[in-house]
Amino acid sequence: MLSTVSPTNSEIDIVPIPGRTRMNWPTAIVLVLLHIGAVAALFMFNWHAFAMAVFLYWFATGLGISMGYHRLHTHRSYKVPLALEYFFALCGTLTLEGGPIFWVATHRLHHQRSDQPGDPHSPRDGAFWSHCGWILFGEANHNNTRLMSKYAPDLAKHRFYVWLNNWHWVPPAVLGVLLFMVGGLPMFLWAGCLRIVAALHATWLVNSATHMWGARRFATRDDSRNNWWVALITFGEGWHNNHHAHPTSARHGLAWYEIDHSWMLIRLLNFFGIARAVRVAKVTTRLPEEEAA
């Protein structure tokens, strides 16, 4: 069943997480090593490793981040059986973007204070900051499950999510070992390092690029914009102005030409009765004229 939602920017009333200005050295070291591995992968190309990297990019970023962490766990824009919900969260950890409680709490805070003081990653604090500076120099709360649970109390009720948030690095580490065992160093570098680096930057571009470049269909209180090329590499997450106007809508691409791969899959799950209570933005057939960037 599909239900309509009206434009709104309000979600959960939450307060800012304290900031930080010093380098998070453990995070920085891991990111540097991943980027070195990503560059090294380019000198060890083989088709099997490339194909596995593409598959895992969709598996972790498409299912884990777009359909899981974002549209399901953060905004509850649709419902699936609990086992599948847990599976999507497990997929999300494979991007090395943290556990579900951390990710959901951070994103809810972003919506509550989008491009205002307290937004964890607004370009108004600098393009570099919104892209990755907030990870390198911001408050390191990836493993602070107790604090982040205050902003994601619905997830904190599940022991599985608490465990996964505490041990979010275990699934990608196990996957990395398996990739090396199956395909050696090229498989590890392509489907591990390069795939993770590509996914991180794609997700970070939603935080940075879609608040700086693109068209604005809706007059939201923030700087969110619709960016087609970010949508292309994030399975529909680049239709960000649409999303900020209708945050609980499972559909982000609201026009026929706004390709939204995650929405297509959600509709397929709904057709087979797997996805239920799917929430969709109520938009007139003639959309408002977009404001040029």
For residue 117, being part of any structural domain is answered with no
Q: Bridge partners of 226?
A: 215, 239
DSSP-assigned letter for residue 287: P
Q: What's the pLDDT at 293?
A: 44
Of how many residues is the chain composed? Answer: 293
Q: What is the mean pLDDT of each run of 10 residues along the chain (293 residues)?
A: 54 47 88 98 97 98 98 98 98 98 96 95 96 89 88 96 97 98 98 98 98 97 98 98 98 97 98 98 61 47
Q: What is the pLDDT of residue 5?
A: 62
Q: What secondary structure letter does DSSP report for 126?
A: -
Q: Report pLDDT for 14.
A: 46
Q: How much is the pLDDT for 45? A: 96
Contact 282, 250 (CB under 8 A): no
User: Is the CA virtual torsion 83, 267, 114, 10 positive or negative?
Assistant: negative
Q: Looking at this protein, which amino acid is placed at residue 7? A: P
pLDDT for the residue numbered 287: 52
pLDDT of the residue at 283: 73
Secondary structure letter of residue 130 according to DSSP: I
- Give the Cα separation of 238 and 215 in Å (integer): 11
Residue 58 belongs to some domain of the structure: yes
User: Is 292 a member of any domain?
Assistant: no
Phi, psi of 276 (to 5 degrees): -125, 165
Q: What is the DSSP track for 16-56?
A: PPP---S--HHHHHHHHHHHHHHHHHTTS--HHHHHHHHHH
Cα dist from 240 to 156, 159, 224, whole Å: 27, 32, 6
266 inside domain: yes
Question: What pLDDT does residue 12 have?
Answer: 45
CA-to-CA separations, 207 to 7, 110, 276, in angstroms, rounded? 20, 9, 29
Angle between helices 100-112 and 159-166 (to 10 degrees): 90
Residue 136 CA to residue 50 CA, distance in Å, equals 29
Query: Between the CA of residue 16 and those of 111, 121, 147, 220, 222, what are the distances in Å?
Result: 11, 12, 11, 21, 17
Domain region containing 18? 2-112+125-281
Q: Which two tokens stand for residue 292?
A: 């040029």
Domain count, the chain: 1
Tell me, yes or no, whether 82 lies in a domain: yes
For residue 118, is it within any domain? no
pLDDT, position 57: 98
Q: Is residue 291 part of a domain?
A: no
> Residue 160 is inside which H or E element, if any?
helix 159-166
**Domain membership flag for residue 288:** no
* Cα–Cα dist 96/204, whole Å: 12
